Structure 1
């Protein structure tokens, strides 16, 4: 016999026989049919090679050997109950907290609205929002540091499940005085690729989307790599050069006139913003609710 084959339920039944004086009383206490209880203890006797019960027409009681075994069974059952209580406490504690990882664009422009609605739904859940680039978010979800992540990257590792929660588009932005704003001939993808650009750091979803879109072209070295869309936006407004950013990050500045959008011929920069999480496929609890809020919000805005 091995630990793996030890029947914990049968040990619990044996302890109940000792507590209540008979197999029938023990079976009633555990809401078990007496024939099933008798079979369970019979299997335990065969596994242990010890007679545990003295069976008579008046009922079944513990043998002397059974009385010795029940002492150890009681400790095992007690330890198992303690383990379950600890696990339940950990689960309840974790259920009261939600650690979310989000890319910079999502965190700055979408997450505040999503978390506001989430707070109404789950006022007792403590939310920990961690803001990093998409590659870092994926890594932290895989390592179980985050319960759920929201990213901009065009691809997701097979170790994680994902679902699209919103749609976005990257656009080329320049300051109003830039020569591209006065051109009659449109800028095409090859010219954009050959132009030194202000770009996000490697690992950012915005950078990855741009790199994938221009993979077929010879690329100029970046003019400058910066760690946030806000920093790039400021650099573009100061006249340093063009950049490719999310419409979410530049919409207000385009409306105010400090940035101009330049259409690029032959280049599709639409992308999906995704939620990612570890198996199982169906995400439940607060994490699942946050994903549903994000999808519902996107559908409302698109509609």
Structure 2
């Protein structure tokens, strides 16, 4: 079918490589080459310029690519419409999630979703909030589940769960045994935070802003697990979702520092694109995220 050839064409254009496209589509490289040759015969022109290092679109290929994407999108939408009409929940659901949600919260939802809808193939992509917004705008994901704020006229954020954010230290840190901690004392500490652009970093900065604190020193680590290990090693304090550290707090690897009269809650939200057709699988997932009985943290 022409759709298969166009899918191969679009994947080669994205990967700029026949071998990487073959790997992504679980096909052999000769099969990829044959389908591109067939498509070039169909259109009567070359679609790619091949060099030893990469594959680039010709002018004809550049002209074809947006139409190929539209055809593939319409094909997927037509199948989804028929599935919806007959009440069948099938297909592929690609979800974008921020690290905290994707690694510590969403697995509970996905397990229940798979139990209820075993014919849906799930793909979960982990990225920061800004990257997930870009994925949604580029139609690389069907739905996003994010922390933090993201403003774009084509996107909507719908809060579904309040997440408590906590201040953390190692059990051996001098503040770990303090019953009353002042903002001035905290300002002297080193804080270990996520990278700029992540929802967790934005939340940490707002947490500190509400306390009126500008840290003396900040260490940036692009991994929540790396942050936890660094705090446990006594290098500084951090600010993370309670979901991320409930096990470490439970077995004593990390200590939560309590600030009198201060509690920080942030909304976790479903990210959707305005006006985009929503498959039955996407609709069922969004409904489950919003109504799921999340375990206590």
Same fold (TM over 0.5): yes
1:91 is aligned to 2:68: no
Is the contact made by 1:162 and 1:274 (CA closer than 8 Å) also made in structure 2? yes
Normalising by structure 1, we get a TM-score of 0.64
Query: 1:123, CA displacement in angstroms?
Result: 1.8
Is the contact made by 2:170 and 2:255 (CA closer than 8 Å) also made in structure 1? yes
Structure 2 residue runs of 5 or longer lacking an equivalent are: 1-69, 82-89
Query: 1:296, CA displacement in angstroms?
Result: 1.7
Normalising by structure 2, we get a TM-score of 0.65
CA spacing shift, 1:122–1:242, aligned 2, 3 Å: same
The one of 193, 208, 211 aligned to 1:214: 208
> Partners of 2:291 and 2:98 in 1: how far apart?
19
> Partners of 1:118 and 1:92 in 2: how far apart?
21
Greater mean deviation of Cα atoms: 218-227 or 254-263: 218-227
Is the contact made by 1:97 and 1:128 (CA closer than 8 Å) also made in structure 2? yes
Query: 1:229, CA displacement in angstroms?
Result: 1.3
The one of 207, 219, 222 aligned to 1:224: 219
CA spacing shift, 1:139–1:221, aligned 2, 3 Å: farther
Query: 1:222, CA displacement in angstroms?
Result: 4.3
Question: Aligned residue for 1:197?
Answer: 191
1:256 is aligned to 2:256: no
Query: 1:191, CA displacement in angstroms?
Result: 4.1
The one of 269, 282, 290 aligned to 1:274: 269
Question: Aligned residue for 1:22?
Answer: none
Which is higher, the Rg of structure 1 or of structure 2? Answer: 1
Is the contact made by 1:101 and 1:146 (CA closer than 8 Å) also made in structure 2? yes
Q: Cα RMSD (Å) of the superposition?
A: 2.9
SS in 2 for 1:271: strand
CA spacing shift, 1:150–1:193, aligned 2, 3 Å: farther
Structure 1 residue runs of 5 or longer lacking an equivalent are: 1-82
> Partners of 1:139 and 1:243 in 2: how far apart?
28
The one of 218, 230, 234 aligned to 2:229: 234
Query: 1:272, CA displacement in angstroms?
Result: 0.8
CA spacing shift, 1:186–1:250, aligned 2, 3 Å: same
* Number of matched pairs: 218
